[in-house]
Amino acid sequence: MLEVLSYDFMQNALIAGILVSIASGIIGSLIVVNRMVFLAGGIAHTSYGGIGMAIYFGFPIFFGASLFAVLSAILMAYITLNQRDKIDTFVGLIWAVGMAIGIIFVDLTPGYNVDLMSYLFGSILAVSSDDITYISSLLGLIIFIMIFWYKQILAVSYDSVYASLRGINVKFFYTLILVLSALTVVIAIKVVGLILVIALLTIPVYIAEKLSSSLASMMIISGILSSIFTVIGLFVSYQFDITSGASIIMISALSLLIFLSILKIKKQLL
């Protein structure tokens, strides 16, 4: 079984999988505590517009998806901060329009597109070393920002009204959280695909939530759990020849189920 590690593509997949898992543990925690799961879902699906355009115009898909994701994140931040009561309508709208743009451009592109499929369902076995460079830079940036602005980000996430009273620029940090979420969503799409990206970002967090008494520990625990699930999921996918994204999410979901059952049994025994 371990001989698969001698393949370059498997090594790349493992490295990328772990890096993305750490990033999604950190950002997924922020998404959950800020109740941005719906927004993150919107961002993920809007990025499909960028994917479609990239395929049609022939520029890198990573770039197209990131661009659309970041733009939709900024738009959503603006709406959330200024038109709170209309979030549902607008996010739903951005979400749908992004997808529609993607579908139209894919339709206009002749032939069946392998790249497109790999973005819908993940393509971690096709990760290049350029991808790894990009992913590690993003992870570096996220960790840097978390260390230096942890206090501010914590304050804005926990009680944005009080944070603004204390002179923290709530709009800036809220937008920053969403933009980092957008960038993370795009690299996570590489691992599990657009369809399953929200599951990757949130399932480990739901477990970590029960085990942590601070945002920082929640981020660390989520990152570790997510890495473990990804590695196991990758081996399962290799062993049984199934899509890696699906096997990673199944492993995560199964673990969440077992974890919750143990919690429940423990509660009843006490």
Minimum distance of another protein from residue 28's CB (angstroms): 13
Question: Do residues 177 and 39 lie in contact, with contact meaning Cβ atoms separated by under 8 Å?
Answer: no
Question: Do residues 41 and 243 lie in contact, with contact meaning Cβ atoms separated by under 8 Å?
Answer: no
Minimum distance of another protein from residue 235's CB (angstroms): 31
Nearer to another protein, 198 or 219 (CB): 219
**Residue whose pair of structure tokens reads 């395929």 in the numeric block:** 55
Nearer to another protein, 130 or 159 (CB): 159
Minimum distance of another protein from residue 147's CB (angstroms): 7
Nearer to another protein, 163 or 234 (CB): 163
CA distances to 24, 40, 154, 183 from 27, in Å: 5, 10, 13, 10
Distance between CA atoms of 50 and 65, rounded to whole angstroms? 4
Minimum distance of another protein from residue 32's CB (angstroms): 10
Minimum distance of another protein from residue 29's CB (angstroms): 8
Minimum distance of another protein from residue 141's CB (angstroms): 15
Nearest 5°: phi and psi at 214? -150, 160
Alpha helices in 34-169 (DSSP H): 37-57, 61-82, 87-108, 114-121, 129-158, 160-165
**Closest CA relative to residue 99, chosen from 62, 39, 57, 53:** 53
Nearer to another protein, 150 or 238 (CB): 150
Nearer to another protein, 157 or 244 (CB): 157
Give the binding site for another protein (CB under 8 A): 33, 147-152, 154-155, 157-159, 161-168, 209, 212-215, 217-218
- The conformational region for residue 193 under phi > 0 = left, psi -120 to 50 = alpha, else beta, is left
Nearer to another protein, 63 or 158 (CB): 158
Distance between CA atoms of 160 and 13, rounded to whole angstroms? 38
